[in-house]
Structure 1
Amino acid sequence: MPVEVRQAERVSNYNKFWHKDSAKDTEADRDGRLDQYTELVNGYYDGATELYEYGWAESFHFCRFFKGEPFLQALARHEHYLAHQMQIKPGMRVLDVGCGVGGPAREIARFTDAIVVGVNNNDFQIQRARKKTAKAGLSDRVSFQKGDFMKLSEQFGEGSFDAIYAIEATVHAPTFEGIYGEILKCLKPGGIFGVYEWCMTDAWDPSIPRHKEIAHGIEAGDGIAEMRTLTDARKALQAVGFEILHEEDLADRQDVVPWYYPLEGDIFKAQTLWDMVTVFRMSTLGKVITQNTVWGLEKFGLVPKGTYDVGESLKIAATYLVAGGQTKLFTPMALWVCRKPAN
C-alpha cells in the first residue's frame, strides 16, 4: 500500500494566509499569497480533497442543472459540453491542467476516446487519481503527473498537445497571463484550449464593502490567492496570443435550477431522491455531522492536524459562493474556447 503523501504542516498553516475580516486584508497579504501560491494550494487540497469527495464527487467543479437532472449526470454533461466545444477527437493527446483526483480526465477520455494526461502539484491528489483510474480500467488512456502548472512547457515541452483544458483550476495561478502563456506554449500550432474559469463578473466592484467581502470569502474558503474578473481573463488570453473562438458565462443562463443549489443545503430542492443525500451534506445539520466526525478523526491522528479548520473554510466558501451566485457577482463557469495560431 502506498504511503500517504499529505503534509500535515501545510494543512495546519493554511489559514495563516488570510485575515478573517476582508476589510483588513491588504495588498501585502495578497502579494504574500501570490508569492506562496504553491504552499497555499497544497495546504488547502491536502486538507480538502477527501472532504470534496465525500460531499461532492470525484469531479471538483460546478455545473448547470436541468429540471430533474441527477447531480452526477449534470457534472458529466458539463464535462462533455466542454469537450464538444473543443472538438476533442479520438486519439488526440490532451492535457488536463489542475486535474484534481481525475474525475473529468476519466470522463472525457471515455466520452472522446482521447489520450488524457492530468497534471497538478499535489502529491495526495495525484496518488488518488492514479488509484481511481486503475480501478476504472483506464490507465492505458489516462495518466497523471505532478507538476507546477506555471512551468508546463519545461515539463512537457512546447507543441506537445493537440488540446488542453482546465476546469475551475487556473484561478489558483498567481497570474492569468503566466498560466495561459504556458498552456499556449504546450499546444501544437492550431491546437485548442478550453477553460471553465472562476471570475468576478462585470457587476463586481471592489470599492463596495459587500462585494469585497464576497470575493474575500471565496478566496479564503477555496484556496485562491486572488480573485480576478472576466475582463482580466479575457485580456490575458488575448495578451499571450490566443484567438478566442467562443466565449460565454454559463452561470448567466436563465436556468430554473441555479448552479449553486446543492450548496444551499435545502433537500427540498434536490432534483432526485439520491441527490437528497448530497444536498443534505451541505445543510446545517450535515455540516455539523461532517465537522464533528473530522474533529474526532483529527484528534486520533487519522487525518492531518488542521483538516477541521480547512473544513471550516469550506463552510465559509459555501456561504460566499451562494452569495456570489445569487447576486451575479461571481461565476465558476466562464467558458472560453481558444485556438493557438497556426503560424
Structure 2
Amino acid sequence: MSTDFIPQVQNRQQDAEFKTAMHGKDVTNKTGFLSAISKNVDAQQVAVSEYFKHWDNKDTKHETEQDKQTRLAEYATLTKHYYNLVTDFYEYGWGTSFHFSRFYKGEPFKASIARHEQYLAYQGGIKKGMKVLDVGCGVGGPAQQIARFTEAHITGLNNNDYQVERATEYAKKAGLSDYLNFVKGDFMQMDFPNETFDAVYAIEATVHAPKLEGVYGEIYRVLKPGGTFAVYEWVMTDKYDETIPLHREISYGIEIGDGIPKMYKVDVARDALKTVGFEILHEEDLAAKGDEVPWYYPLSGEWKYCRSVGDLVTIFRTSWLGRQVTMKSIGLLESLKLAPPGSQKVTVALEDAAVNLVLGAKMELFTPMMLFVAKKPL
C-alpha cells in the first residue's frame, strides 16, 4: 500500500447542500425503487460523472498507476457519490442492512442477517450501557439490531448525508432514538476525542478506506484502553494473485460496482491491525466454513434455499433474473425521461459487481466476512 496517504479535506456544508439538491428536503418520504428514480436530474448527472470518472474508458489492461493513486486519494468523494447513487437500490434489494451473512439450512434471510450482526456484537463483547461506535453505519440497520440485542448506546459514523438522515429517521420510527445516534464524518479523520468508546465495530465498511492503517489507526485512537474492535472485512484471500489477469478482473469488477478504491488481501488487513497497535484476539474467515447454503446464494438466485414469501421477494430482487428486470426497467424509464440520466449505468455497475462477487467466492479468491476481533492493550 502507498505510505503517503493524505486525508481529503471535508466540506460539510457543500455535502449537505448536494444531498438536498439530489434527494430533496425530506429524504424518507420515498424508499427503494421509487426513490431511486426520483432524484434531481442535474445532481444525479454530477454524482454519476464524479463517480464513474475513476473507471470510464479504463479496464484492467489499461488502468495506470496514476489511475489507482487517484482513486485512493479521492476515496471520500468516490464513496460519498457511490452511496448517493446506490443506497436506494440497496434498500430495494437488501433492506436496511447492507451486508452479507452466513446461512443455516432452513433459516430465513432476515434471520440470517440479524444473527450475523448479533454474532459480531457477541464477539466484540458489546454489553448493556456501553458506548459503542459503528464505523460506516449505512442507514442503520445493523445498529438497530445490535442496540436491541445488547442495549448498548451506539453512535453510527457515515460520510454520506443521505444515509445519515435516513438512519436517524429509521431509528426514530423504531423507537430506538435513546440508544442510537448517527453523525456525519470521515473514518480516516474522526472528530471524536481520544478514548471515547468502550467498543467499536464495522460491518463491510472499512473496505472503502484507501489505507487500512488510516482507518484502523483512528479506531484505535478513539477506543478506550482494553476496548475491543470487531470487524467483518472485505478482502481478497491468500489464493488471490494480482498478476493473474482473471484474478485482477474479478477484483476490479468488485471495485467498480461497490465503490472501493482498492481491494486488498487478508494479510494487508492483519498487518495493518498490528501496525497501529491492536492485539488480534481472534480471526476467522466465516465464508470458508463449508456451509451447505453459501453466503452468496441471494446473488446467485438459488431458489431452493428460500424459506418464506419474504425470502422469495428478496432473492428475486437480488438474483440474476431480478437484477436483469431492474436494469431493463430502469433503462426503459430513463429512455422515457421518467428516471434521471445515468440510472441504468449505476445498475449495470451493480450487476457487474454481483457477477464478480459470486465468481470470486466460487474461486475462493474473495470473502466479505473475514472476522477480526482485536483489543487495544491496557
TM-score, length of structure 2 as denominator length: 0.86
Q: Residue in 2 aligned with 1:293? A: 329
The secondary structure found in structure 1 opposite 2:61 is helix
2:345 maps to which of 276, 286, 309: 309
The secondary structure found in structure 1 opposite 2:76 is helix
1:321 equivalent to 2:357? Answer yes
- Taking the aligned partners of 1:292 and 1:322, their CA distance within structure 2 comes to 21
The worse-fitting range, judged by mean Cα deviation, of 35-44 and 174-183 is 35-44
- Taking the aligned partners of 1:162 and 1:301, their CA distance within structure 2 comes to 50
Q: Residue in 2 aligned with 1:105? A: 143
Q: Would the aligned equivalents of 2:94 and 2:318 in 1 still touch at CA under 8 Å? A: no
Q: Residue in 2 aligned with 1:10? A: 47
Q: Would the aligned equivalents of 1:62 and 1:259 in 2 still touch at CA under 8 Å? A: yes
- Taking the aligned partners of 2:276 and 2:320, their CA distance within structure 1 comes to 44
Change in Cα spacing, 1:302 to 1:156, as seen in structure 2 (3 Å) is farther
Over aligned residue pairs, what C-alpha RMSD do you find?
Answer: 1.8
- Taking the aligned partners of 1:227 and 1:334, their CA distance within structure 2 comes to 13
- Taking the aligned partners of 1:314 and 1:159, their CA distance within structure 2 comes to 38
Q: Residue in 2 aligned with 1:280? A: 316
The secondary structure found in structure 2 opposite 1:224 is coil
**Per-residue deviation, 1:28:** 1.4
- Taking the aligned partners of 1:281 and 1:20, their CA distance within structure 2 comes to 29
Q: Residue in 2 aligned with 1:132? A: 170
**Per-residue deviation, 1:298:** 4.7
Q: Residue in 2 aligned with 1:32? A: 70
**Per-residue deviation, 1:314:** 0.5
1:256 equivalent to 2:292? Answer yes
Q: Residue in 2 aligned with 1:204? A: 240
Once the two structures are superposed, residues 278-324 of structure 1 have per-residue CA deviations (whole angstroms, 9 ceiling, x without a partner) of 11113343223222333455567776542321111110010000001
Change in Cα spacing, 1:230 to 1:312, as seen in structure 2 (3 Å) is same
Q: Would the aligned equivalents of 1:34 and 1:225 in 2 still touch at CA under 8 Å? A: yes
1:231 equivalent to 2:254? Answer no
Once the two structures are superposed, residues 232-276 of structure 1 have per-residue CA deviations (whole angstroms, 9 ceiling, x without a partner) of 000000000001111101011010001001101232342434312
Letter in 2 for 1:83: A
Q: Where do residues 30-69 of structure 1 align in structure 2 (5 Å cutoff)?
A: 30-69=68-107
Q: Residue in 1 aligned with 2:9? A: none
Letter in 2 for 1:56: W
2:304 maps to which of 245, 261, 268: 268
- Taking the aligned partners of 1:159 and 1:187, their CA distance within structure 2 comes to 5
| Structure 2 gap segments, 5+ residues each | 1-23, 28-38
Q: Would the aligned equivalents of 1:80 and 1:108 in 2 still touch at CA under 8 Å? A: yes
Name which structure has the greater RCO, CA cutoff 8 Å, separation 6+.
1
The secondary structure found in structure 2 opposite 1:324 is helix
Change in Cα spacing, 1:298 to 1:142, as seen in structure 2 (3 Å) is farther
Once the two structures are superposed, residues 60-110 of structure 1 have per-residue CA deviations (whole angstroms, 9 ceiling, x without a partner) of 000100001000100000000000011111000000000000000111000
**Per-residue deviation, 1:156:** 1.0
- Taking the aligned partners of 1:38 and 1:302, their CA distance within structure 2 comes to 30
The secondary structure found in structure 1 opposite 2:308 is coil
Q: Residue in 2 aligned with 1:170? A: 206
**Per-residue deviation, 1:20:** 5.0
Change in Cα spacing, 1:283 to 1:79, as seen in structure 2 (3 Å) is closer
1:92 maps to which of 107, 126, 130: 130
1:156 equivalent to 2:179? Answer no
Aligned pair count?
340
Letter in 2 for 1:199: V
The secondary structure found in structure 2 opposite 1:90 is coil
